[in-house]
Amino acid sequence: MAVNQQNLTPDDIQDKEYVVDKKDKIIEECEELWKQMEKYQQEIALAGGERPNHSDTQLTLLMMQLKSLTAGYNQWLERTPDIIPLNLENLVALGKEELQKLDHDLEMLLSTILSKNQKVLEDLRREQGWLDEQGELVASLSEKCEELKNQGMAVCEQRTLLELKTEMTKIRRHREKLLTSLGQILDKLFPLLEENGSRKRKRECQPNTWLMTMHEILEILINSLLHSPHDPYVKINDSFWPPYIELLLRSGIALRHQDDPSRIQLEAFRQ
């Protein structure tokens, strides 16, 4: 026996250690089962001999497991591990077997990767085609939107211009109506100054100078305010009858120039 132990290789010693470790584990399991069995026996004794069915079944299972573990333990004790001689031929055979297994696993992995790559390429082509279609659709829609936008702007401009023209026409008509109504009112309230069937001259020393009616004075002031709002003042000449001018100034309809009293303007009521 001593001679056999001296001839053991390191691998043989490792196998022996494995057997010893396995033996220790089996012994520990057996001891644990014995402790459980003793615990159940004590519980049975305390119960006065009455054994519930559940405890009997569990005890039977534990006894069977103990017998199985004991049989396995005895087999491990009687078994002698097969020791493969560590010569060159055996090592080469084991290496070839491991390489063949590794080669088979790598081929399976390669086949799986190639299959996944093929599926990824197909998905990529399909997605690229979908992306191209979406790009064409977006370009077409953008062009259509631009055309509609330009058409909409042209139509909007034409519509706005037409509306402005219509509004200007309405304003002109309303202005003419207001001027006509104003002239009628002024002609009624401020009739022409007549002398022998003609307009009265302002002064006898100026026989060619005729007085303007209130309607004519206001029309001049309104046109000056509308046509030249930056300089709406009108120069008072001999045709302006002073009582009319004084009436416009006192009623706040007209204003004098701050630096030139001979110039007046219509009050900008709209401001």
pLDDT tens string, the chain, 271 residues long: the values are: 333 444 444 444 455 565 567 777 877 887 888 888 777 777 776 765 444 455 667 778 888 888 888 887 777 777 665 665 667 777 788 888 889 999 999 999 999 899 888 988 998 988 888 888 888 888 888 888 888 777 777 777 778 888 888 888 888 888 788 878 877 887 788 776 555 444 554 444 445 567 888 888 888 888 888 888 888 899 998 888 888 899 889 988 899 989 998 999 988 766 5
Bridge partners, 194 (sequence order): 199
Each as own residue / partner, the long-range contacts of residues 248-254 (CB below 8 Å, 24 or more positions apart, any chain) are: 248/217, 248/218, 253/218, 254/221
> Considering just the CA atoms, what is the radius of gyration of the chain in Å?
62
User: What phi and psi, each to the nearest 5 degrees, are found at residue 168?
Assistant: -65, -40
DSSP 178: H
Closest CA to 248 of 240, 238, 258, 239: 240
CA distances from 153 to 138, 143, 148 (A): 22, 15, 8
Amino acid at position 177, single letter: K
